[in-house]
Structure 1
Amino acid sequence: MARFPKIDLQEASRLTRAGRLDEAMTLLKRVLPGGAPDSAAPDLRGAAKDLLRGLADKLGGLEGLAGPQGPAVFTPPNARYEARVHESAAGSRTYKLYIPSGYRGQAVPLLVMLHGCSQSPDDFAVGARMNELAEEQTFLVAYPAQTRSANMSKCWNWFNEADQKRGRGEPSLIAGIARDVIAAFRVDPARVYVAGLSAGGAAAAVLGAAYPELFRAIGVHSGLACGAARDMPSAFSAMKNGAAAPISGARVPTIVFHGEDDKTVHPVNGDHVIAQSTAGAELRARSERGISPGGMRYTRTIYTDRSGRPAHEHWRLHGAGHAWSGGSPRGSFTDPRGPDASREMMRFFGELSA
Structure 2
Amino acid sequence: MSGRSGVDMMEATRLTREGRLDEAMRLLQGAPAGASADPGVIDTAPPAPGSDGAWTARAARSELDNAEMSGIWSGLLDRFRKFRRRDDGAGSRPASPPPAGPVTPPGGTFEAHSHVSAAGARGYRLYLPSGYRGQPVPLVVMLHGCTQSPEDFAAGTRMNELAEAETFLVAYPDQPRSANPSRCWNWFSVADQQRGRGEPALIAGIARQVMGEFAVMEGQVYVAGLSAGGAAAAIMGATYPDLFAAVGVHSGLAPGAARDMPSAFAAMRQGGVPPAPGARSVPTIVFHGDRDRTVKPVNGDQVLAHARGGAPAAGLSTRTEKGVGSGGMGFTRTVHAAPDGRSMFEQWVLHGAGHAWSGGSKDGSYTDPRGPDASREMLRFFRQHEKR
Which TM-score band applies after superposition, normalised by the shorter structure? 0.7 to 0.9
Aligned partner of 1:311 in structure 2 is 344
Contact persistence 1:189–1:214 (CA under 8 A): no
Q: Structure 2: which amino acid aligns with 1:277?
A: A
Contact persistence 1:73–1:122 (CA under 8 A): no
Aligned partner of 1:32 in structure 2 is none
Q: Which runs of 5+ in 2 are unaligned?
A: 1-96
- Aligned-pair CA distance for 1:72: 4.2
Aligned partner of 1:288 in structure 2 is 321
Aligned partner of 1:22 in structure 2 is none
* Equivalent of residue 359 in structure 2, options 326, 332, 336: 326
TM-score by length of 2: 0.72
1:107 aligns with 2:136: yes
Question: C-alpha offsets along residues 36-86 of structure 1, whole Å, 9 cap, x if unaligned?
Answer: xxxxxxxxxxxxxxxxxxxxxxxxxxxxxxxx9831444234311001000
* Equivalent of residue 161 in structure 2, options 132, 157, 166: 132
Aligned partner of 1:3 in structure 2 is none
1:1-80 equivalences under 5 Å are 70-80=99-109
Identity of aligned residues (%): 64
TM-score by length of 1: 0.79
Question: C-alpha offsets along residues 175-224 of structure 1, whole Å, 9 cap, x if unaligned?
Answer: 00000100011101211000000000000000001000100000000000
State the structure with more CA Rg: 1
1:163 aligns with 2:196: no
In 1, the alpha carbon distance for the partners of 2:123 and 2:362 equals 25
Aligned partner of 2:210 in structure 1 is 181
Question: C-alpha offsets along residues 112-146 of structure 1, whole Å, 9 cap, x if unaligned?
Answer: 00000000000000000000000001000000000
1:190 aligns with 2:223: no
Aligned partner of 1:302 in structure 2 is 335
Larger relative contact order (CA 8 Å, sep ≥ 6): 2
Q: 1:74 to 1:305 in 2, by over 3 A?
A: closer
Q: CA RMSD in A?
A: 1.4
In 2, the alpha carbon distance for the partners of 1:228 and 1:198 equals 13
In 1, the alpha carbon distance for the partners of 2:381 and 2:221 equals 13
Aligned partner of 1:119 in structure 2 is 148
Aligned partner of 1:46 in structure 2 is none
Q: Which runs of 4+ in 1 moved over 3 A?
A: none
In 1, the alpha carbon distance for the partners of 2:180 and 2:285 equals 27
Contact persistence 2:105–2:160 (CA under 8 A): no
SS class of match (1:84)? strand
In 1, the alpha carbon distance for the partners of 2:215 and 2:348 equals 32
Q: Structure 2: which amino acid aligns with 1:272?
A: Q
In 1, the alpha carbon distance for the partners of 2:328 and 2:319 equals 23
